[in-house]
Structure 1
Amino acid sequence: MAHTLAPLPYDYAALEPYIDAQTMQLHHDKHHAAYVNNLNAALESYSELQSKSIEELVTSLDTLPESIRTTVRNNAGGHYNHTLFWNLMAPNAGGQPTGAIADAINAAFGNFDTFKQQFVTAGTKVFGSGWVWLVSSSDRQLQIITTPNQDTPLASGFYPLLGNDVWEHAYYLKYQNRRPEYLNAWWNVVNWEEVNRRLQTSTTR
């Protein structure tokens, strides 16, 4: 198999009460696993593509055979986004950012509260399914963007630093149609250490 599903870096219940264990188990073991399985199935007849990394696949969609392009876009994107998502959360995390990411957010948005409000508003306004992101652009500027479905920031030339899944399967068991409540609760599990690591990586790209 070209691509595999890594285990969650923490227990299903580790993000309670903000994200419930049943949602985490279904989200990881069913939804994310399906993206991996569908991606591998799409690449099965294309041995030259099986050795490509997930980043290479999502940034070269236009070069893929047309017969599998949409399938790879959806499922490679889903695999990339979710692999990132699990690591952007952690138990006993959240709160105010510290270190370089705190300085970068203050420089770009004025202060953390303004950034958080803009991020939640952007995520709330995503129509249907998608993601809300804090990204670094090619000129190292931070901005908030959204992507539909499982599209990735990488495909548009952005490097994702922080992202939240606003597909209903990410929150509906606990929050039903209250997406803003989910978005606000999610700040309690943000892994700022990982965001700082990604910011450092973005400066060396």
Structure 2
Amino acid sequence: MAIELPALPYDRTALEPHISGDTVDQHHGRHQRGHVDRLNAMAAGTAFAGLELEEIVRKAQGAMAEHAAQAWSTAFYWSCLKPAAAGGGGEPEGALADALAVAFGDVAGFRAQFTATALRGFGAGWIWLLRRDDGRLAIAATPHTVTPLTGSDTPLLACCLWEHAYFLDYRDNREKYLDAFWQLVNWEFAASRLG
């Protein structure tokens, strides 16, 4: 069974004014769709053709692994965002807020470290909030198509650092894009993965 491009969990313009409908169209409709289409073409007629996307990410190598990882990571990213009008942004609550406080001093400390790590990186990639096997929270930046799915960490939150995620809206100003990201974070989604 072919991997399908998942529908966005909101309307293409629902993230405005922080992320434009044009950026969403390019990111979802062009880049993510391209990864899904190339993955399906590569997997057709192989043992990977019947696997779920996460399994392909974990088992494939080379270009197939890269397209699978980008397709999965981008779908995950859309779940990490929630329109501001629907409650995106703000502050986490409950167990997630407590875990962030233990790991980073407080939510502001987490945001500062997450943003600093994202700004330190050069080029395309991802920034993640992860739950380690022992329950501790950690931040990791991964280059290009590298995803935590291939290890033992559980991703809770991701921000795409590929240029197509922000260039139309913010040009090369990654810091402004990250400011916008914090206005849209879906804390409920992250909390649901805390375990």
Alignment match, 1:180: 175
The amino acid across from 1:144 in the alignment is I
Post-superposition offset of 1:45: 2.7
Question: What is the total number of aligned residue pairs between the two structures?
Answer: 192
Alignment match, 2:66: 74
Post-superposition offset of 1:165: 0.2
Alignment match, 1:54: 53
> Does 1:133 find its partner at 2:125?
no
> Does 1:10 find its partner at 2:10?
yes
Percent identical among aligned pairs is: 39
Matches within 5 A, 1:156-171: 156-171=151-166
Which deviations, in whole Å up to 9, do the C-alpha atoms of 1:87-136 show, x marking residues without a partner?
Answer: 11111211111121111101111101111010001111221100000001
Root mean square deviation, CA, Å: 1.1
The amino acid across from 2:43 in the alignment is L
> Does 1:114 find its partner at 2:109?
yes
Counterparts of 1:82 and 1:143, CA distance in 2: 20
Q: Which runs of 5+ in 2 are unaligned?
A: none
SS in 1 for 2:12: coil
Post-superposition offset of 1:73: 1.6
Alignment match, 1:27: 27
The TM-score with structure 2 as length reference comes to 0.95
Q: 4+ residue runs of structure 1 moved beyond 6 angstroms?
A: none
SS in 2 for 1:15: coil
> Does 1:102 find its partner at 2:97?
yes
Which deviations, in whole Å up to 9, do the C-alpha atoms of 1:129-158 show, x marking residues without a partner?
Answer: 000000011211110001111211111321
Alignment match, 1:66: none
Alignment match, 2:37: 37
The amino acid across from 1:135 in the alignment is L
SS in 2 for 1:157: coil
Asked whether the equivalents of residues 73 and 151 of structure 1 are also in contact (C-alpha less than 8 Å), the reply is no
SS in 1 for 2:122: coil
Matches within 5 A, 1:190-205: 190-200=185-195
Q: Which runs of 5+ in 1 are unaligned?
A: 62-68, 201-205
Post-superposition offset of 1:72: 1.5
The amino acid across from 2:112 in the alignment is Q
The amino acid across from 1:86 in the alignment is W
Post-superposition offset of 1:5: 0.4
